[in-house]
Amino acid sequence: MHTLGEGVLNWNKDGRVLTRDQKQCEICEAPKSAFPEMTIMRDVSIAKSEFKAGEKAITKLQDFQNDEVLFDYCRYPAVVDTIKDLIGVPTSNLTAMHTMLINKPPDTGSLTSRHPMHQDLHYFPFRPADFIACAWTAMEVINRANGCLVVVPGTHKGHLLPHGYPKWEGGVNKAYHGIQDYDTSTPRTYVEMEAGDTVFFHPLLIHGSGANRTAGFRKAISCHYANADLCKYIDIKGTTQEELSYEIADITRKKMQRAGIDADSAKTIELDYADIWRARARAVTGSRANL
Which 2-41 residues touch ligand AKG, going by CB under 6 A? none
Kindly tell me which of 106 and 266 has the beta carbon lying closer to ligand AKG: 106
CB of 21 to ligand AKG, least distance (A): 20
Beta strands at 178-179 and 189-191: parallel, antiparallel or unpaired:
unpaired
Provide the minimum distance between the beta carbon of 120 and ligand AKG in the complex, in angstroms, as a whole number.
5
Q: How far is the CB of 210 from ligand AKG (least distance, A)?
A: 8
Which DSSP state fits 153? Answer: T
Asked if residues 222 and 135 have their Cβ atoms less than 8 Å apart, the reply is yes
Nearer to ligand AKG, 141 or 261 (CB): 141
Q: Nearer Cβ to ligand AKG, position 122 or 282? A: 122
Helices 273-280, 242-258: crossing angle, 10 deg rounding: 50
Residue 70 near residue 64, CB atoms below 8 Å: yes
CB-based contact 58:106 (threshold 8 Å): no
248 vs 266 by CB, closer to ligand AKG: 248
HEC-encoded secondary structure of 26-86: HHHHCCHHHCCCCEEEECCCCCCCCCCCCCCCEEEEECCCCCHHHHHHHHCHHHHHHHHHH
The piece of 21-29, 78-86, 100-108, 150-158 that touches ligand AKG (CB under 6 A) is 100-108
Q: Closest approach of Cβ 60 to ligand AKG, in Å?
A: 7
Q: If binding is defined by CB under 6 A, does position 220 make contact with ligand AKG?
A: yes
- Signed CA dihedral, 173, 176, 182, 186: sign only: negative
115 is an interface residue for ligand AKG by CB under 6 A = yes
The helix or strand, by DSSP H or E, that contains position 279, with its residue range, turns out to be helix 273-280
Q: Which of 209, 212, 227, 245 binds ligand AKG (CB under 6 A)?
A: 209
- For ligand AKG (CB under 6 A), the number of binding residues is 8
Q: Which residues bind ligand AKG (CB under 6 A)?
A: 100, 102, 104, 115, 120, 207, 209, 220
